[in-house]
Amino acid sequence: MTQSALRHDWTQAEVLALFQQPFNDLLFQAQSVHRQHFDPNRVQVSTLLSIKTGACPEDCKYCPQSGHYNTGLDKEKLMEVQKVLDEAARAKAIGATRFCMGAAWKHPSDKDMPYVLQMVRGVRALGLETCMTLGKLTREQTAALAEAGLDYYNHNLDTSPEFYGNIITTRTYSDRLQTLAYVRDAGMKICSGGILGMGESLQDRAGLLIQLANLPEHPESVPINMLVKVKGTPLAEEQDVDPFDFIRTLAVARIMMPKSHVRLSAGREQMNDQTQALAFFAGANSIFYGDKLLTTANPQADRDMLLFQRLGIKPEEREEHDDEVHQAAIEQALVEQRDSALFVNAAV
């Protein structure tokens, strides 16, 4: 079988043609591409923790953490470093290979960065891959995260450039692309995707995937989220996404970004087992595992493992870090643990 070429020149017409294929033909193509680059019966498992919750100044219309909307969400300060490390250890114990930490910020402040860097080093010392989503970054902050050993930085584009202004007005599309460029320049891996079900058109879904696939390098991880409708947000009454349309988007993402992990992300709580099985067949090979995705519900871990057993799927094995880098992270984390002052809560 000829290997699918990595492309960075997708056009709107080509991507719409993929979406408009008969469903069986599209899934067959996506599964064929998937098998060229991945074990079709392995799924990468991540756990996501909200390390700072609520009171975000951004006005993302889908987000319960935005300070612009009244969703009843309790605001919380940045978590203590040790509590984050305890959660990471628990995540590793139930099978996660990557620990993702999210903070409801427009951007991290100078006073919070030292704590964030300790979290990265500490989680890495546990042998887990590390991922963070902290909002917009400066070049200097990006370099500091890379030096601390951060593996992935998550910064979603959310939707197409054309539809973006209907969802967010407090940060531009170019801001998001700039942060992704800083992350790539610093040598870290990129996690970037979008959300379906915000009122976007098929052209917007195609436009989102084109933006991601036409980056100079494809994101290593591409989360495809289904909108979780939260009362109090402007999108609380949006129409549900047709499950087949959602699966089509996963399949097109797999075809366009053959070597990327395509993550079946937010919205899994609303999906039955059959929809999730179709998602894996369409090329999704990464999930978030645990009870919550930041502030929204996620399928129970035992339900996920039961579904994996029924489908003959196993979690992807942990990618161990280089021994010298891993040992350095352990030693640095131990030094920091001796400074108990660094484990106090940072201010909001």
Q: What number of other Cβ atoms are within 10 A of residue 38's Cβ?
A: 20
| Location of structure tokens 């009870």 | 291
Structural domains of the chain in order of their starting residue, each with its CATH number:
12-312 (3.20.20.70)
Count other C-beta atoms under 10 Å from residue 229's C-beta: 19
**Catalytic residue (choose from 63, 98, 205, 254):** 63
282 with 254: CB under 8 angstroms? Answer: yes
Can you say which residues are annotated as belonging to the binding site? 56, 60, 63, 100, 131, 191, 263
Question: 135-149 pLDDT, tens per residue?
Answer: 899 999 999 999 999
Active-site annotation holder among 98, 121, 124, 131: 131
Q: Is 122 a residue whose pLDDT tops 50?
A: yes
Let me know if 131 is a catalytic residue. Answer: yes
pLDDT confidence of residue 291: 54
- Kindly report, residue by residue over 139-196, the tens digit of the pLDDT: 999 999 999 999 999 999 999 999 999 999 988 999 999 999 999 999 999 999 999 9
Interval 324-340: pLDDT, tens: 544 444 444 444 444 43
Q: Is 63 annotated as catalytic?
A: yes
The Cα 66–Cα 283 span in angstroms is: 32
The question of whether 60 is a catalytic residue gets the answer: yes
8 A C-beta contact, residue 4 and residue 33:
yes
pLDDT the model gives residue 153: 95
Question: What backbone torsions phi and psi does residue 265 show, to the nearest 5 degrees?
Answer: -110, -130
pLDDT digits 0-9 by tens, 38-83: 999 999 988 888 887 766 778 788 887 776 666 666 666 788 999 9
Residue 187 has a pLDDT of 95
- 231 CB-contact burial (10 Å; exposed 0-12 / middle 13-18 / buried 19+): exposed
Q: Is 337 exposed, middle or buried (0-12, 13-18, 19+ CB in 10 A)?
A: middle
Please state the residue numbers annotated as binding site for [2Fe-2S] cluster.
100, 131, 191, 263
pLDDT, average across residues 297-323: 73
Q: How far is CA 34 from CA 90, 135, 246, 332, in A?
A: 31, 31, 17, 39
Residue 62: helix, strand or coil by DSSP?
coil
Neighbours of 112 (CB within 10 A): 20
Torsion of CA 322, 308, 20, 191, to 10 degrees: -30
Q: Which of 98, 100, 248, 254 is catalytic?
A: 100
Listed residue (280, 267, 278, 268) closest to 314, CA to CA: 280
Of 191, 205, 248, 254, the catalytic one is: 191
Nearest CA-CA partner of 268 in 80, 43, 61: 43
Name residue, tokens 């019966």: 41
